[in-house]
Amino acid sequence: MELKVYQNKVKVAEEFSKYLIQKSDTQKAFHIALSGGSTPKIVFDVLAEQFSTDVDWKNIHLYWGDERCVAPTDDESNYKMTVEHLISKVDIPEENFHRIKGENDPKEEAKRYGELLDKELPKALGLPQFDLVILGMGDDGHTASIFPHEINLWVSPDNCEVAIHPESGQRRVSLTGRIINNAKTVAFLVTGESKAEKVKIIIDREEGYLEYPASHVAPKTKDLVWFLDAAAAKLLTSSQS
Ligand SMILES: O=C(O)[C@H](O)[C@@H](O)[C@H](O)[C@H](O)COP(=O)(O)O
């Protein structure tokens, strides 16, 4: 596991953009699972506005790690956010992005998307393999849309599951642990003081850390990188950050 700590959200966004450019510069299809949330929004803005010509978008294939069960025009939609902050600003072919259809019946969509991954992604150890999975982490330690109250979904035998937001009751379709941990690389994008306590508990494996889904992110390749701002990393000892 590697920790990369930067002064603020914009610096995290700039440095992650450079990291993504370096990782995806392979002249062949690069499959990414995107996250929702406020941190990726800033990353997408910076990537689109400062680095769009540095990425060979025809080789980039975008998927989502989770999606709210809402229409693609709904302000809650991760797809809508990604279109507004990234897709609409870069020259990525229409056939290169594959949204989770939040307007569909959740169970049927979880099945459909799971089958899409089986069909479209390269395989490793018999499972679909992303080149890069981008994850956020909620204040409660959730990641993708696997929440602490449904942590059993992490070990689902399926590629995708239907989850329920603990406060709003909103249904979501989420990748499960078997796909996330089969990725070549997983990058957390975590910023803000509200994350500091869980970042410390999870990274230091403090008592009770396994209650938090984010602590179960452990790619088999061991290629796990945390991009943190100083606020989210403030409780880590200096040797770690
Ligand atoms: O659909 C979502 O909301 C995200 O996938 C979710 O898992 C997000 O990454 C965390 O809630 C952190 O969000 P912030 O980046 O806004 O803190």
* Per-residue pLDDT tens digits for 124-155: 999 999 999 999 999 999 999 999 999 999 99
The Cα–Cα gap between 75 and 120 comes to 28
State yes or no: pLDDT of 161 exceeds 90. yes
Hey, which of 12, 63, 66 would you mutate to test ligand 1's pocket, going by the most ligand atoms within 8 Å of its Cβ? 66
pLDDT of 223 reads: 98
Cβ of 77 less than 6 Å from ligand 1:
no
Whole-number average pLDDT of the chain: 96
The whole model's pTM is what?
Answer: 0.97
Cβ of 66 less than 6 Å from ligand 1:
yes
pLDDT of 68 reads: 98
Give residue 49 CA to ligand 1 midpoint distance, Å.
Answer: 22
- Which atom of ligand 1 is least distant from the CA of 143? 7
Ligand 1, atom 4: closest residue by C-alpha: 36
* Nearest by Cα to 199 from 152, 138, 151: 138
pLDDT bracket for residue 237 (50, 70, 90): confident
pLDDT bracket for residue 226 (50, 70, 90): very high
Cβ of 38 less than 6 Å from ligand 1:
yes
Cβ of 194 less than 6 Å from ligand 1:
no
Cα end-to-end span (Å), the chain: 12
Alpha-helical regions (H) of 31-142: 38-50, 78-85, 106-120
pLDDT of 240 reads: 59
pLDDT of 239 reads: 58
ipTM: 0.94
- Which atom of ligand 1 is least distant from the CA of 142? 7
Helix (H) or strand (E) holding 225: strand 224-229
pLDDT of 86 reads: 98
Cβ of 146 less than 6 Å from ligand 1:
no
Question: What domains, with CATH codes, occur in the chain?
Answer: 2-22+38-194 (3.40.50.1360)
Give residue 35 CA to ligand 1 midpoint distance, Å.
Answer: 7
Q: Which residues pair with 63 in a beta bridge?
A: 33
Question: Token pair for residue 210?
Answer: 């396994």
pLDDT of 241 reads: 53
Cβ of 39 less than 6 Å from ligand 1:
yes
Give residue 27 CA to ligand 1 midpoint distance, Å.
Answer: 30
pLDDT of 118 reads: 98
- Which atom of ligand 1 is least distant from the CA of 192? 17
R_g (Cα) of the chain, nearest Å: 17
State yes or no: pLDDT of 102 exceeds 80. yes
Q: How far, in Å, are 23, 93, 152, 184, 209 from residue 60 at the CA level? A: 11, 9, 32, 15, 34
Cβ of 78 less than 6 Å from ligand 1:
yes
Q: pLDDT tens digits, residue range 18-73?
A: 999 999 988 799 999 999 999 999 999 999 999 999 999 999 999 999 999 999 99
State yes or no: pLDDT of 238 exceeds 80. no
